[in-house]
A and B are shown apart, each in its own frame.
Chain A
Amino acid sequence: MDKHKARLVAKGYMQQHGIDYAEVFAPVARLDTIQLVISLAAQKEWVIYQLDVKLAFLHGELNEEVYVEQPPGYEKKGREQMVYKLKKALYGLKQAPHVWYS
């Protein structure tokens, strides 16, 4: 075993349109574009390099007010009834891909 992995995921299916999120559209490159770039690179003998953003979705700044419950097992003592207000996106949120793009 190399490492342990855990990820806090929001219950995006509980979100209501208009309240917790508005825009969810996020553009991605189409596969034929990627294929075109690869073949162009091959033709011109370019080398293709690759980078990957770590925990990309956590970088997105939220535009809406979104609250999450405290994760089970990690509640703050004496404040079990309180919730967290999110500043940045979490995995699972409907708008996570959208805010990552913008």
Chain B
Amino acid sequence: MVVCLYVDDLIFTGNDASMFDDFKQSMMNEFDMTDLERMRYFLGIEVLQSSNGIFVGQKKYVETILTRFKMDGCNSVNNPIVPGTKLCNDHGGSKINNTIYKQIVESLMYLTTTRPDMMFVVSLLSRYMECPTELHLQAAKRVFKYLKGTVSFGVFYKKGGFEGLNVYSDSDYAGDVEDRKSTSGYVFMLSSGVVSWSSKKQFIVILFTTKAKFIAVASCACQKIKLQRILQQLGHNQEGSTTIHCDNSSAIKLCKNLVLHGRSKHINVRFHFIRELTSMGVVEVTHCQTHNQIADIMTKPLKHDVFVKLRGLMGVCCISSINDALGIQFN
């Protein structure tokens, strides 16, 4: 049995139903409790459980923020950001109220808990909270337009399937037009659903694509170890090493090869952490084709068809599409 505690809310699950009642009873004796039965709504996340899997989404929340920022009447668009867009500080642009902009970013941040497809654009928008201009507001409005068309999207975790963790790591190269730092992103998949994801601007300027990808793999390895430990504690041991998928073969070689080349010497020692892990066999970095690289969605604005494909691979879908495909009705 597994129990998750969040201040006063707790959820529990497991394979032994008789333990549930004992646990519930002992909790009831200790505190005044509200029994909410099956999990439906936890920390603002809507949870729908069926015999085919579990769906998590934030439909109500999306509707609330669309109304709050008066975007409930807008037309919908297909992707949250125009492909190829590069945002910059836009010093000459007309300034807008940064309180409202901050509120927008903050509301969208919370949405990324069940919407990995929005992760990149939200973290991009959040870089300009200090001095937002009309340009940034337009970008934010596009996100709302995208939301308008994808209100009931969320992550669907299918039952059964592949057991282990599958990790994708990617980065762009010098994506930020001002300080020329790269963005790294990772996606963790457990069976068919995404469990952890991130999109983050790297904190140092990198001279080669290889190194940008290498750093992405290294930061992803830290998260991997953490999740692996939790999985172990949950009695879900994984045999062998976890695979990290990376689409840059030189970066992979850099992870495996202990020889320092003249051009890679200046990479900070901390990133050599990943080398130790590969030599110990904790992780294995393998090559994957760019078009199967799920983490791509965390690093750059993608074309519509690629975006939709990767979104689907992460398990992000519309609730009605599950209903149609599986012939089940969530209610």
Contact = CB atoms under 8 A, between A and B. Distances in A.
**A-B complex is real:** yes
Interface of A: 26, 28-29, 31-57, 59, 97, 100
Interface of B: 2, 4-15, 20, 24, 27, 31-40, 42-43, 47, 49, 51, 53-54, 56, 113, 157-161, 163, 190-191, 193, 195-196, 227, 230-231, 234, 236
B51 A37 contact: no
Given A40-B190, A44-B15, A34 B8 contact: no
B5 A59 contact: no
A37 B8 contact: no
Contacts of A36: 190, 195-196, 227, 230-231, 234
A50 B159 contact: no
Contacts of A40: 2, 190, 231, 234, 236
Contacts of B160: 43, 45
A26 B9 CA distance: 14
Q: Is the interface of A mostly helix, strand, loop or mixed?
A: helix
Given A37-B234, A48-B49, A54-B34, A43 B161 contact: yes
14 contacts: A26-B7, A32-B227, A33-B230, A35-B195, A37-B2, A39-B191, A42-B193, A50-B11, A51-B27, A52-B33, A53-B8, A53-B9, A54-B32, A55-B32
Nearest to A56: B8
Contacts of B230: 33, 36
B195 A39 contact: yes
Nearest to A45: B159
Query: Among the interface residues A28, A49, A56, which one has the most CB atoms of the partner chain B within 10 A?
Result: A49
A50 B236 CA distance: 22
Contacts of B4: 29, 33-34, 37
Contacts of A97: 7
Contacts of B13: 37, 41, 46-49
Given A51-B34, A51-B35, A54-B33, A39 B10 contact: no
Given A51-B34, A56-B7, 11 more contacts: A29-B5, A36-B227, A37-B4, A39-B54, A39-B191, A45-B159, A49-B20, A49-B39, A51-B27, A53-B10, A54-B31
A33 B113 CA distance: 12
A43 B166 CA distance: 15
Contacts of B43: 31, 34
A102 B160 CA distance: 38
